[in-house]
Amino acid sequence: MLKSLLTTVIVASALMATSGTAALAADASGDWVRANGASKTRIAPCGSALRGKLVWLRDPREDTENPDAAKRGRPLLGVQIVQSMQPTGTDGKTYTGFIALTGADKLKLEDCVMAGLICKGETWTRAQ
């Protein structure tokens, strides 16, 4: 599950980097809940880009799968998981994707691998 969360966040970073609009940065600011309800990420402007950090976890736990051994064992809550909205994948894959506000309270993320041949999506809901 942690790997899925980190993959989603890395993909979200890449997706938001490709969006590049100040309007999206302003509208996307706030707390967003993953579709499975397991975590909440706070998205905030960072210059003309966006960043995000974990602000709530249903089951708080430590970072046990980080590729950087020095970061393993730290609590995941509060970790900056999206930085400058630049792709930061560490699994050797190249991601492409899209992000769009589909309503005032819905943020659709879609990530793709293999130049867009294989895609999956997730819609986050703005936290109340």
Q: What is the pLDDT along the chain (128 residues), one digit of tens a residue?
A: 555 554 555 445 544 444 444 555 558 889 999 999 999 989 888 777 677 789 999 999 999 988 889 999 999 999 887 655 433 344 544 455 566 778 889 988 777 777 778 888 889 999 98
Query: What is the distance between the alpha carbons of residues 110 and 120, in angstroms, rounded to a whole number?
Result: 6
First to last CA, the chain: 24
pTM exceeds cut of 0.85: no
Pick from 50, 32, 51: nearest CA to 41: 32
Rounded to the nearest 5 degrees, what angle is found at the Cα of 64, between the Cα atoms of 63 and 65? 100
102: exposed, middle or buried (Cβ count in 10 Å: 0-12, 13-18, 19+)? exposed
For the chain, list the domains and their CATH numbers: 2-126 (2.40.128.520)
